[in-house]
Structure 1
């Protein structure tokens, strides 16, 4: 009977996914690494659901070139664009230096603004490529699905006059910029390193960071002003702040299994866990290596696609020493050709240029994930019930690890404080303390118990927008109001003015009454 119900459910899901009319969808991802991996999955899901999908992909930068991964064959189409070789050479050199700074714990605002400056320059070239833009316009797409991290994605959609769905590849980073209600008493700001349980000083810090975020956002948007003025007709230049609120849907690669509860709007959809899947068998080479540790199992180590080829001996030496003290074997994603020659690799470590992370975490002998704290990695760890050690390096990884720690999934070590002794002790604690495994099991149960898998949730919501011709019915009218009306500043000022006037009148009456009483007293005394 249970098998029959399962079959009927699968049949029902299949009918849902294939019943809608085919649409032409443009997916826009101008970054590599986890951004590309997520959009590759999204594009494939829409293709599998019967839609005609074309991905606009920027290639030639190290974040894609470094991936031992290619888009699926016989799936969606791809339109690629690349900057000149001369620019890419200088950009790649700059980006490599930035990665080294990340591994030294030096991730600051200036680096981020420089990065946005590069994205803005690339954006100007992309939108200025007349052949590319005309080719995309001629396809007459029904909707665009864009990477919301890169402001250029919004500008490309506007340039092509397309309605769009914005995909936020990480957590609710600066959600208030995109219209989300953000009660500062329990919704921590980006990089605040706060949880949702704040005392007074935490709420004060959160409020200050909220105010400063508007200054930072203005600095980011200033980097794109030249691209906007150059590529749009005078008098019709778009405003990025307004484009952020124009999305038919805002899709967040987040999940309340790890995220702190917060208020959302009707046009917000959470699909965290898109890359998490049942594990497939690993290669025989990896299986043989895992067997050498017996019941001790193995540890998976990956600091993301961007940092797997960075040669920084001081950090790699400390990590290598820490791993050498484990009874487990270690499968570490790091390009062997970039391993420092003066660091002798521990015998229990296997370096691989690329690893099947989802499949390894789903292996019954996986004991721990050492990660940079990317949300996709954390959700795969949750899905497969594996505790984590986080070494956050940049972006939202610091906030992600705050959430992972708060949920009991693991521990965090700051890279600028990374020492073999501390890393070894932290790994031994997380592997040996059953509470971390119990938390991983509990979080996995929550995540897997969602009514619908994230893949289905994503496709059906976008098809809902396509079927209705837009998402106006989901967008609050308040998003069209100026900020002083949204936050009732005008009402508050009016009430303060009325209160001030009432207080002024009361004081004048009291002073007048007191004057009359004093005069009456003087008359009686006389």
Structure 2
């Protein structure tokens, strides 16, 4: 009995006291919110966490050590301009993100003295967790420390990323990342466009592989395998999606949906916001276009049109924006309040909030769904179109592609006056929350599963080992077509020979 107790305690200690390295080189708050919650959850479970990022915790946490790599690569916390974002093509989007975000972030991180020091550490790690984005440079730590690697995707994963796990990616019904406004039910032309965008996305991202490999090998050593090989050998992908709010698609065992990882228990609003919302109107409309879109990039006419739409409404409007960035000659009605920072989840989950006007970012969309608030989506960039299209398909919101006065009035009135949207929002929220475990619990369970089973190779699909022509059975189809063609050709020749011989005999008669 004592032996069994000893072995049990040893087994638990082995699993629940792992040394885990979590790395996020990108300076993006939304990216950090997911990894931070995973890291905090693991620390609370007894694991030792070393968190490499630009965002140290405000309050120290036991077993959680911050390795702050500074704020040199802060492009994701800077703002873009409306016309710039709307005019980006697939190629220019990928080029902008990789050349102005990912590559500088990798270079800055590798030059940081704290990462140089981490490279010299004698500490033994058991696991690496990294963000799956446009760059794979931090995958080198998995090879360097010889530990299993887990990837976390904070958005809908790109085509060039999911194929590493052997994930089925049929463009016949799975809309690709940059397919603007497509649903799973596509016409022939839409399937053609969707497929073409899939190929483009894959090609443009993969075209940077060699450059990123060179930067990474300069830090880790020339003997390091390619980052693509390291990615293919990763143990698990935690992806920020869920079938209830996106669409049902086939998954392999080592790809796990954990949408809502950044969502914590909403708290009552503080006194300032509680007083601001008040009870003297029909409710509140919350308007936020995210942290990346600069309000000063809106034309004066557009800003005034938006304010004119809000003015006669019997609702308070909380607009997340810097009022000092607005032109001074704008006519702002008394029911519009500008706030630089908003406790967004807490605000959305307050029953007085009746509508969320949003750019359709993944995090914001999930928070509104969680809080059962109808969404008016104005997508501008990247996966925002895909997110809002799914909202529209689910019936808990509408999408307007152009932010005009006419469209805004029409959509706001429809969403506020037609009860079907609030009803659908509540139904979708129930579906989103109805899980055997929370997103954080699910993520931690599978992370510990990988730890328990030393990389969990049994989760791997052999599909990722196949060449593309093998995966799509093109080699088999080619053999079958060639065989059938040969048989048909021989039959035709045989029949011709028979008829020819009969004609010769008839001539001799």
Matches of 1:18 and 1:333 in 2, distance apart? 47
Are positions 1:53 and 2:49 aligned together? Answer: yes
2:128 alignment partner in structure 1: 144
Please say if residues 69 and 112 of structure 2, whose CA atoms lie closer than 8 Å, have aligned partners that are also in contact.
no
- Label 1:135 to 1:211 Cα distance change in 2 as closer, same or farther (>3 A): closer
* Stretches of structure 2 lacking an aligned partner (at least 5 in a row): 1-11
In structure 2, distance between residues paired with 1:509 and 1:130? 79
Aligned mates of 1:473, 1:385 — CA distance in 2: 38
Secondary structure (helix, strand or coil) at the match of 2:16 reads: coil
Q: 2:421 aligns with which of 436, 440, 452?
A: 436
Which of 343, 350, 373 does residue 330 from structure 2 map onto? Answer: 343
Question: In the alignment, which residue of structure 2 is the partner of 1:454?
Answer: 439
Selected match of 2:212 from 217, 221, 224: 224
Query: Aligned-pair distance for 1:96?
Result: 5.4
Q: 2:103 aligns with which of 97, 104, 120?
A: 120
SS of residue matched to 1:78: strand
- Matching residue of 1:424: 409
1:284-363 residue pairs with structure 2 within 5 A? 284-291=271-278, 293-294=280-281, 296-307=282-293, 310-314=296-300, 315-363=302-350
Distance 1:160 1:198 in 2: 45
How far is 1:418 from its partner? 1.4
Q: TM-score, with normalisation over the residues of structure 1?
A: 0.85
- The size of the alignment, in residue pairs, is 488
- For 1:469 and 1:302, the matched residues in 2 are separated by 44
Alignment of 1:66-105 (within 5 A): 71-74=58-61, 76-82=64-70, 98-102=80-84, 105=86
Deviation digits for residues 397-418 of structure 1 (CA, Å, limit 9, x no counterpart): 111111111111111122xx21
User: What do residues 482-503 of structure 1 show as CA deviations (whole Å, max 9, x unaligned)?
Assistant: 2222222222222222223223
Q: CA RMSD in A?
A: 2.7
Question: Which digits, 9 at most, give the CA deviation of each residue in 1:170-227, with x for residues without a partner?
Answer: 1243264333112232212222232111233232333333333332232343552541
Aligned mates of 1:38, 1:381 — CA distance in 2: 17
Gaps of 5+ in 1: 1-16, 60-68
Q: Distance in 2 between matches of 1:58 and 1:408?
A: 38
Displacement, 1:348?
Answer: 0.9
Q: Which residue of 1 aligns with 2:362?
A: 375
1:196 aligned counterpart, secondary structure: coil
Which of the numbers 18, 21, 27 marks the counterpart of 1:26? 21
Using the alignment, how far apart are the partners of 1:318 and 1:73 within structure 2? 46
Tell me the equivalent position of 1:413: 400
User: C-alpha separation between the residues in 1 aligned to 2:414 and 2:424?
Assistant: 14
Question: Which whole-Å CA distance do the structure 1 matches of 2:344 and 2:324 have between them?
Answer: 21
CA distance in 2, matches of 1:254, 1:403: 12
**TM-score normalised to structure 2 length:** 0.88
- Deviation, 1:277, is 3.9
Map residues 490-509 of structure 1 onto 2, 5 A cutoff.
Answer: 490-509=475-494
Report the Cα offset of residue 251 of structure 1: 0.4
433-442 or 302-311: bigger deviation? 302-311
